[in-house]
Amino acid sequence: MSQALLDEIPSLDLADFNSGDELSKQLFVKQLGDAFNNIGFVAVKNHGLTEEQTDKLYTTVKKFFELPEDIKVKYEKPELFGQRGYIGKGKEHAKGRSTGDLKEFYHVGQEVPDDVTLNEEYPDNIWPDELPRLETVTLNAYKTLENAGMTILSAIAIYLGLEEDYFEDKVKYGNSILRPIHYFPIEDPDSIPDDAVRAAEHGDINLITLLMGASADGLQVLRRDEKWIPITALPDQVVVNVGDMLARLTNNKLKSTIHRVVNPPKELMQTSRFSIPFFMHPRSEMDLSCLENCINDKNPKLYEDTTAGEFLHQRLVEIGLKK
């Protein structure tokens, strides 16, 4: 019997997975899998990010985006294909579109210790001289969300019938990104293209995304019956969804969740919206070939073999950040 489709995302407690109680742990795993197979998003509390951390992060991020344009563009490095630093207004668009999204953002990536050798090289993070605090607060949030993401991936591994630590060596020092986003005010809504939106419908590139509560409404998820459902996280929650890499790996057993950020009513277009997702990526050499236990006669293999690095390169071209 198929599940009834939900109108809101289920709420889970990460403490249940970490409690040491096997029944609580297994219930968390089942509820997580059910949520990803129903509405595609789940809200999680006890993720480790405190209200104080979140407040400092949003306050600092807002100060950066309030800087003059000629200051912000100093930290935009086209040769890095948007992987670090500032990415200007309208530079990114959804796959299959050419109209840029109504947003600007800043990318903070993995900091790798000197004694760790990787097969791929990550560019150095870029830190604005005008706002030295940005480094501390973003890296603090990065590590906290990365740890929560690793725990959630452990639960996903159990749900998929894999060893609990299946993802551990694949995501440790992975190519994850923290992305503070500013959906900037539009002073004259009639001046933008008719199809311009804050973020057109898309699936995320990565394994999973962890999203702390945004500063305003607007996020919507496409439910399995093609109905758009608004998504809002409570202050003590992060919202987690499946990305395209995990969909490929699981042969769509876990489907990447299509979502968008819609424009506000015309009278509110002159207001800002801030959002800070954490995109959890593996190392570039991770094999994304469909898992054997996700392929059978009823579910034939849907995707060609590829690595995380190859897939990321392809998608960066498709969304306009790489030529």
**pLDDT recorded at residue 269:** 85
Is residue 186 predicted with pLDDT exceeding 60?
Answer: yes
pLDDT of residue 100: 86
pLDDT of residue 36: 87
> What residue type is assigned to position 156 of the chain?
I
Residue 249 has pLDDT above 50, yes or no: yes
Higher-pLDDT residue of 203 and 154 is 154
Q: Specify the pLDDT at position 226.
A: 86
Q: Please, which pLDDT band fits residue 200 given cuts at 50, 70 and 90? A: confident
Angle at 136 between CA 75 and CA 277, to 5 degrees: 70
In terms of pLDDT, which residue wins out, 295 or 199? 295
Per-residue confidence at 5, pLDDT binned at 50, 70, 90? low
- 41-64 mean pLDDT: 94
Residue 77: the pLDDT is: 94
Whole-number Cα distances in Å, 132 to 46, 69, 111, 230, 274: 29, 18, 17, 35, 20
The residue ranking higher by pLDDT, 260 or 217, is: 260
Region 220-227: mean pLDDT is: 84
Considering only CA atoms, which of 79, 80, 88, 81 is closest in space to residue 318? 81
* pLDDT tens per residue, range 66-81: 999 999 999 999 999 8
What was the pLDDT predicted at 306?
Answer: 96
pLDDT of residue 3: 52
Tokens of 245: 């890499």
Q: How far is CA 52 from CA 12, 15, 25, 132, 136, in A?
A: 22, 20, 28, 18, 13
Average pLDDT of 298-319?
92
Report the chain's mean pLDDT, rounded to a whole number: 90
Instruction: Identify the pLDDT of residue 246.
Output: 96
HEC string for 226-264 = CCEEECCCCCCEEEEEECHHHHHHCCCCCCCCCEEECCC
Nearest to 158 by CA among 299, 21, 33: 33
Residue 2, pLDDT above cutoff 60: no
Query: Which long-range contacts (C-beta less than 8 Å, at least 24 apart) are formed by 59-62?
Result: 60/131, 60/133, 60/134, 60/137, 60/138, 61/106, 61/134, 61/138, 61/180, 61/182, 61/274, 61/276, 62/182, 62/272, 62/274
Average confidence (pLDDT) over 273-283? 95
Average pLDDT over residues 102-113: 93
138 by DSSP, 3-state: which? Answer: helix
Indicate the DSSP class of residue 107.
E
pLDDT at 110: 95
pLDDT digits (tens, 9 = 90+) for 127-136: 999 999 999 9
222: β partners: 228
Percent of the chain at pLDDT above 90?
63
Rg (CA), the chain: 19
CATH number of 11-318: 2.60.120.330
Mean of pLDDT values over 78-101? 88
Element of type H or E holding 158: helix 133-159
pLDDT given for residue 172 in this prediction: 94
pTM for this structure? 0.93
**The pLDDT of residue 1:** 33
> pLDDT tens digits, residue range 139-184?
999 999 999 999 999 999 999 999 999 999 999 999 999 999 999 9
Please state the rounded mean pLDDT for residues 304-314: 93
For residues 28 and 264, the model is more confident at 28
* Of the candidate ranges 94-98, 166-170, 215-219, the one whose mean pLDDT is the lowest: 215-219
Hey, where are the domains in the chain? Answer: 11-318
